[in-house]
Amino acid sequence: MKKITLSLFVFLVHMTCQAQNFSLVPLGIYGGEQEDNLSSYLVGTPEDSTFICLDAGTVNTGIRKAIQLKSLHGTTETVLRDQIKGYFVSHGHLDHLAGLIINSPADSKKDIYAMSPVLQIMQNHYFINDTWINFADQGQKPILGKYHYNELREGKEIPASQTPFYLTAYELSHVNPYKSSAVLVRNNTHYLLYLGDTGADRIENSDRLNNLWTTIAPLVRKKQLHTILIEVSFPNSQPEKQLFGHLTPNLLVEELEKLKEKTGQKNLENLHVVVTHRKPTGDNPEIIKKELLDNNPLKIQYIFPEQGKKIILP
Put simply, whether the predicted model's pTM sits higher than 0.85 gets the answer yes
Q: Please determine, for residue 9, whether its predicted confidence score (pLDDT) is greater than 80.
A: no
Q: CA-to-CA distance for 50 and 37, rounded, in angstroms?
A: 22
Calculate mean pLDDT across residues 16-26: 82
Of 103, 175, 162, 163, the closest CA to residue 135 belongs to: 103
What type of residue sits at position 264? G
pLDDT of residue 14: 45
pLDDT of residue 2: 42
pLDDT of residue 13: 42
pLDDT digits 0-9 by tens, 245-294 = 999 999 999 999 999 999 999 999 989 999 999 999 999 999 999 999 99
Q: Please determine, for residue 4, whether its predicted confidence score (pLDDT) is greater than 50.
A: no
pLDDT of residue 270: 86
Position 18 confidence tier, pLDDT thresholds 50, 70, 90: low
Calculate mean pLDDT across residues 147-165: 98
pLDDT of residue 10: 40
pLDDT of residue 19: 76
pLDDT digits 0-9 by tens, 68-92 = 999 999 999 999 999 999 999 999 9
Q: Please determine, for residue 26, whether its predicted confidence score (pLDDT) is greater than 90.
A: yes
Q: Please determine, for residue 1, whether its predicted confidence score (pLDDT) is greater than 80.
A: no
pLDDT digits 0-9 by tens, 92-148 = 999 999 999 999 999 999 999 999 999 999 999 999 999 999 999 999 999 999 999
**What is the greatest pairwise CA distance in the chain?**
71
Q: Please determine, for residue 3, whether its predicted confidence score (pLDDT) is greater than 50.
A: no
**8 Å CB contact between 186 and 198:** no
Cis omega (within 30 of 0) for bond into 142? yes
pLDDT digits 0-9 by tens, 30-80 = 998 999 999 999 999 998 999 999 999 999 999 999 999 999 999 999 999
Helix (H) or strand (E) holding 195: strand 190-195
What type of residue sits at position 29? I
pLDDT digits 0-9 by tens, 192-245 = 999 999 999 999 999 999 999 999 999 999 999 999 999 999 999 999 999 999
Report the SS3 class of residue 169: strand
Q: CA-to-CA distance for 258 and 180, rounded, in angstroms?
A: 20
Q: CA-to-CA distance for 184 and 170, rounded, in angstroms?
A: 8
Position 16 confidence tier, pLDDT thresholds 50, 70, 90: very low
pLDDT of residue 213: 98
pLDDT digits 0-9 by tens, 162-198 = 999 999 999 999 999 999 999 999 999 999 999 999 9
Strand partners, 276: 231
